[in-house]
């Protein structure tokens, strides 16, 4: 997407970056997902669709992927990039509403949440309210995967999740930490 840089800068408070995730970061985020078993996957913050595309190529056709994107330009870009993809539901709106969408689709349990939301820039109260909704929708053996460019939300994640494993990739600009959280 030629205009990714421009759009990301214009909406830096919600994009939290100036470039899409590298293939190394995407691999680090997705490598522990059991795509054979997953029935429902939720993506928070599709952006230009770089992670969405990799999830689509790895998942089974019957697996539902709900990808949320707040920014209209990124959403429209993804709409054009992915059309008629089996199981993909692109949603233009805030992840704060994800529970309502799942309820309307009668989806109670989610196997994996993959979030690239810039939580380091979010208010703690907003993070608490997002994760407060994630936990009851997550399978007992499900995982919440979040990458960030700093450790500043580790304590907050630990407050919500029993297990928070960390991985890191230097092969991204900037280098990123991947948090893999279980309840």
Ligand X SMILES: C[S@@+](CC[C@H](N)C(=O)[O-])C[C@H]1O[C@@H](n2cnc3c(N)ncnc32)[C@H](O)[C@@H]1O
Residues 148-167 that bind ligand X (CB under 6 A): none
Q: What order do you get walking across the sheet with 110-115 strand by strand?
A: 88-92, 64-69, 40-44, 110-115, 138-148, 176-182, 163-169
Task: Name the minimum Å distance from CB 106 to ligand X.
Answer: 22
CA dist 68 and 71 (Å) reads 10
Of 47-55, 57-65, 131-139, 170-178, the segment contacting ligand X by CB under 6 A is 47-55
CA dist 135 and 133 (Å) reads 6
CA dihedral 13, 170, 44, 155 (to 10 degrees): -80
Of 88-96, 105-113, 158-166, 171-179, the segment contacting ligand X by CB under 6 A is 88-96
Q: Where are the alpha helices (DSSP H) in 82-122?
A: 98-104
Query: Does 87 engage in binding with ligand X (CB under 6 A)?
Result: no
Query: Does 112 engage in binding with ligand X (CB under 6 A)?
Result: no
Task: Name the minimum Å distance from CB 137 to ligand X.
Answer: 16
Task: Name the minimum Å distance from CB 40 to ligand X.
Answer: 18
Which residue number, 75 or 161, has a Cβ lying nearer to ligand X?
75
Task: Name the minimum Å distance from CB 91 to ligand X.
Answer: 8
Which residue number, 40 or 48, has a Cβ lying nearer to ligand X?
48
Query: Does 94 engage in binding with ligand X (CB under 6 A)?
Result: yes
Cα distances from 70 to residues 17, 87, 132, 169, in angstroms, run 15, 20, 20, 26
* Residue 125 structure tokens: 């109260």
Query: Does 134 engage in binding with ligand X (CB under 6 A)?
Result: no
Can you tell me which of 38, 55, 63, 68 binds ligand X, judged by CB under 6 A? 68
Can you tell me which of 33, 41, 51, 88 binds ligand X, judged by CB under 6 A? 51
Buried b (16+ CB within 10 A) or exposed e, 149-161: eeeebeebbeebb
CA dist 34 and 80 (Å) reads 28
Query: Does 17 engage in binding with ligand X (CB under 6 A)?
Result: yes
Q: List contacts with ligand X (CB under 6 A).
A: 14-17, 20-21, 45-47, 50-51, 68-71, 74, 94-96, 116-118
């Amino acid at each position: 997407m030629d205009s990714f840089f421009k759009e990301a800068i214009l909406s830096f408070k919600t994009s939290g970056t100036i470039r899409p995730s590298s293939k190394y970061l995407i691999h680090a985020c997705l490598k522990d997902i059991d795509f054979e078993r997953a029935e429902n996957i939720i993506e928070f913050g599709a952006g230009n669709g770089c992670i969405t595309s990799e999830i689509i190529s790895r998942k089974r056709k019957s697996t539902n992927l709900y990808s949320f994107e707040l920014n209209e330009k990124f959403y429209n870009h993804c709409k054009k990039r992915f059309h008629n993809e089996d199981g993909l539901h692109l949603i233009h709106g805030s992840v704060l509403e994800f529970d309502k969408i799942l309820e309307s689709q009668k989806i109670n349990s989610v196997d994996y949440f993959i979030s690239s939301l810039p939580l380091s820039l979010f208010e703690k109260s907003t993070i608490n309210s997002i994760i407060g909704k994630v936990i009851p929708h997550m399978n007992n053996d499900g995982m919440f995967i979040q990458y960030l460019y700093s450790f500043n939300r580790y304590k907050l994640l630990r407050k919500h999740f029993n297990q928070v494993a960390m991985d890191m990739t230097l092969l991204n600009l900037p280098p990123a930490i991947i948090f893999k959280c279980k309840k």
